Amino acid sequence: MNVTAPIALRINPDIDPETHPYISTGLRKHKFGIPIENALEYYRVAKGLENIELIGVHKHIGSQITKITPFVDALQRILVLIESLKAEGINLRYLDIGGGLGIQYKDESPPHPKELARKLLPLLRGQDITIIVEPGRSIAGNAGILLTKVLYLKKGEDREFVIVDAGMNDLMRPTLYDAYHHILPVRKNRRRMIVADIVGPVCESGDFLAREREINSVQHGDCLAVMSAGAYGFSMSSNYNSRPRPAEVLVRDGEHYIIRKRETYRDLVRGEIIPDFLDK
């Protein structure tokens, strides 16, 4: 194709981010990146390829990280690699330090980005390299909520169930990670407190948004706000159980704007093609 591709190699620094194992990506046992002990060899190979221009290095050790130490440890290992590359005549222009800074869902105390910067900047001082950061969840997570309506209430043997119109297909995190999301009534009330599972209408026992949650008693038609749904919410949603996905709405200064239309059942079959031998 007569094209030279500018590339960076993702390096696995073998650092434990101390987060949920499903979103940990920087240990030797994970599938992501080139093991750091083999990185120099790979850069040497790439340097010899005439249609490749080596311009960067990338690392990303996980998500929802609530401590600074893993970020520091990973960066230190990458900077040692960069110095080794310089000795080989490989001078990189970009260092992508990844992302993964956590947010508060329940009782976590994640560091502020300024705290992270204060620890990382001294390590980067003097480096003639462009730094790339992937803020992700830290800017999107608490910017979004999932709004859901109570369909009906069910008295179980040992708990109450609040069945709502949002389910695991809309917000997968509680089912996938047993993740916690605050759930609040849209309209404040002084009703009695109950302990309930807040569940969706999908035909799975894993279809829940919260389990054994203490909340104010709700009624049919009440709206609930599932908080901190701005990251890995809509992007992980699906049409499981033939469920159209909800609309996305942007709210600013008391005004709201639809930024993604609600799906319809027609949308679910739009891409399907029936072979002629079945269409008879």
Q: For residue range 14-52, what is the model confidence (pLDDT) as tens digits?
A: 887 776 665 566 566 778 899 999 999 999 999 999 999
Q: Tell me the per-residue pLDDT of 241-274, one tens digit each, with 9 for 90 and over.
A: 999 999 999 999 999 999 999 999 999 999 999 8
Does residue 34 belong to any structural domain of this protein? yes
pLDDT at 21: 63
Does residue 227 belong to any structural domain of this protein? yes
CA distances from 256 to 221, 249, 252, 259 (A): 21, 6, 6, 9
Does residue 276 belong to any structural domain of this protein? no
- Residues 168 and 130 occupy one common structural domain: no
- Residues 132 and 161 occupy one common structural domain: no
Cα dihedral value 123, 88, 11, 137, nearest 10: 40
Q: How many CB atoms lie within 10 A of CB 248?
A: 14
Q: What separation, in Å, do the N-terminal and C-terminal C-alpha atoms of the chain show?
A: 46
Which three-class secondary structure state does DSSP give residue 232? coil
pLDDT at 32: 82
- Residues 210 and 103 occupy one common structural domain: no
Domain termination residue (choose one: 106, 125, 140): 140
- Residues 53 and 85 occupy one common structural domain: yes
Mean pLDDT over 123-148 rounds to 95
Whether 203 is catalytic is: yes
pLDDT at 22: 57
- Residues 117 and 24 occupy one common structural domain: yes
Does residue 191 belong to any structural domain of this protein? yes
DSSP per-residue string spanning 15-72: ----S-GGGB--STTSSSSEEGGGHHHHHHHHHT-TTEEEEEEE---BSSB--SHHHH
**What domain range includes position 154?**
144-242
Mean pLDDT over 69-86 rounds to 94
Mean pLDDT over 79-99 rounds to 95
Domain termination residue (choose one: 119, 140, 161): 140
- Residues 158 and 108 occupy one common structural domain: no
Mean pLDDT over 163-178 rounds to 96
Q: Classify the phi-psi angles of 253: left when phi > 0, otherwise alpha if psi is within -120 to 50, otherwise beta.
A: left
Tally the domains of the chain. 2
pTM of the predicted model, to two decimals?
0.88
Looking up residue 201, the CATH number of its domain turns out to be 2.40.37.10
Band the pLDDT of 67: cuts 50, 70, 90: very high
d(CA 62, CA 22): 9
Q: Tell me the per-residue pLDDT of 184-220, one tens digit each, with 9 for 90 and over.
A: 999 988 888 999 999 999 999 999 999 999 999 999 9
d(CA 218, CA 239): 27
Q: Which of 1, 3, 193, 203 is catalytic?
A: 203
- Residues 167 and 116 occupy one common structural domain: no
Domain termination residue (choose one: 140, 161, 194): 140
d(CA 272, CA 174): 31
- Residues 38 and 104 occupy one common structural domain: yes
Looking up residue 27, the CATH number of its domain turns out to be 3.20.20.10
pLDDT at 158: 80
Mean pLDDT over 75-98 rounds to 95
Pick 20 or 179 by higher pLDDT: 179
